Amino acid sequence: MTEPPCARAPLIEFQGVTKRFGTLTVLDDFNFSVAAGEKVALIGPSGSGKSTVLRILMTLEPFQQGTLTLAGTSYHQTGGAGPFKASQRHLRELRSHVGMVFQSFNLFPHMSVLRNVLEAPVKVLGLPRAEAECRAVELLTMVGLANKKDHYPAQLSGGQQQRVAIARALAMRPRVLLFDEPTSALDPQLVGEVLGVIRGLAHAHELTMLLVTHEMRFAREVSDRVCFFDQGRIREQGDPERMFSAPQEPRTREFLASVL
């Protein structure tokens, strides 16, 4: 029998993390851990801090206090509002484990689809171009877009651009893949194709996934655990069936009633 992801050692751990933007405290003594291979959906009201958690993991945001541990390496912050105190080498190491798919795709508009996917493996990982190209074509095939490899982002639909963005993130072979509302910018008829690709990835046992989403049915379907965020804290968490059918906290019930 395969052990459940929560029984494994944490791959990601936030311990007492405080994140402020000026006088606004977004995360206050925040604690959160994710096991290797676990798929976690982060849900909650707008402004509750979900994206901030992903952005800290991606090293796009510094934090003021606490410890972030990823793949066995810890990053401490001890007060002050300054930037991440970790060295550039540490930041690169942290970033090397994590890929992120944004709401707004963020493809390079002047590069073909193929170059969008192979550029970072060549430039950052130092892969030989031919090898990176093979891998890029494999990934584009996986997201159903090998036939668009010579197109430019502007020639693709939003759903296709987002699928390229997923292939691009995977090309860096991250252990952790973060999705920040990956379907929010899409026309409703394009949402399904992107969710289909993410659903396929959710079956990859090795990949750890954190998904911020307003698609509650999807969160229920693909995640091992759902975390309800409220004012910078995880107010309630649990397996999706329990969270959606029998939430315990009044705030969770209120939120779910407003979105379901």
Ligand X SMILES: Nc1ncnc2c1ncn2[C@@H]1O[C@H](COP(=O)(O)OP(=O)(O)OP(=O)(O)O)[C@@H](O)[C@H]1O
Does 252 engage in binding with ligand X (CB under 6 A)? no
C-beta separation of 169 from 179 below 8 A: no
Nearer to ligand X, 96 or 104 (CB): 104
Q: Which stretch binds ligand X (CB under 6 A): 21-29, 137-145, 163-171, 193-201?
A: 21-29
When the beta carbons of 21 and 128 are compared against ligand X, the nearer one is 21
* Residues 174 and 156: beta-carbon distance below 8 Å: no
CA–CA gap between residue 106 and residue 139 (Å, rounded): 18
Considering only residues 191-250, where is the footprint of ligand X by CB under 6 A? 212, 229
Only one of the segments 31-39, 45-53, 130-138, 248-256 lies at the binding site for ligand X (rule: CB under 6 A); that segment is 45-53
Q: Which of 21, 85, 106, 125 binds ligand X (CB under 6 A)?
A: 21
What's the min distance (Å) between Cβ of 45 and ligand X? Answer: 7
For residue 75, the tally of other CB atoms under 10 A from its CB is 22
- Tell me whether residue 26 or residue 207 sits nearer to ligand X (CB atom): 26
Residue 203 CB partners (closer than 8 Å, separation 6+): none
Ranges assigned E (strand) in 149-192: 176-180
Question: Smallest Cα–Cα separation from 170: which of 196, 195, 206, 218?
Answer: 206
Among 5, 37, 49, 99, binds ligand X (CB under 6 A): 49
Select the residue interacting with ligand X from 17, 35, 48, 94 (CB under 6 A). Answer: 48
Q: How far is the CB of 53 from ligand X (least distance, A)?
A: 7
Our measurement of the distance from residue 139's CA atom to the centroid of its chain's CA atoms, rounded to an integer in Å, reads: 18
Does position 47 bind ligand X by CB under 6 A?
Answer: yes
Which segment (48-56, 69-77, 83-91, 248-256) binds ligand X by CB under 6 A?
48-56
Minimum Å gap between C-beta 7 and ligand X is 29
Contact predicate 105/161, CB 8 Å: yes
Binding segment toward ligand X, per CB under 6 A, in 4-12, 20-28, 143-151, 190-198:
20-28
Which residue bears the tokens 């994710």? 34
Q: Does position 51 bind ligand X by CB under 6 A?
A: yes
Cα–Cα nearest to 181, from 106, 110, 124, 237 = 106
Q: E strands, 36-158, where?
A: 39-43, 65-70, 73-78, 98-101
Q: Which residues contact 126 (CB under 8 A, 6 or more apart)?
A: none
Stretch that binds ligand X, among 3-11, 43-51, 127-135, 145-153 (CB under 6 A): 43-51
Q: Which residues bind ligand X (CB under 6 A)?
A: 21, 24, 26, 44, 46-52, 212, 229
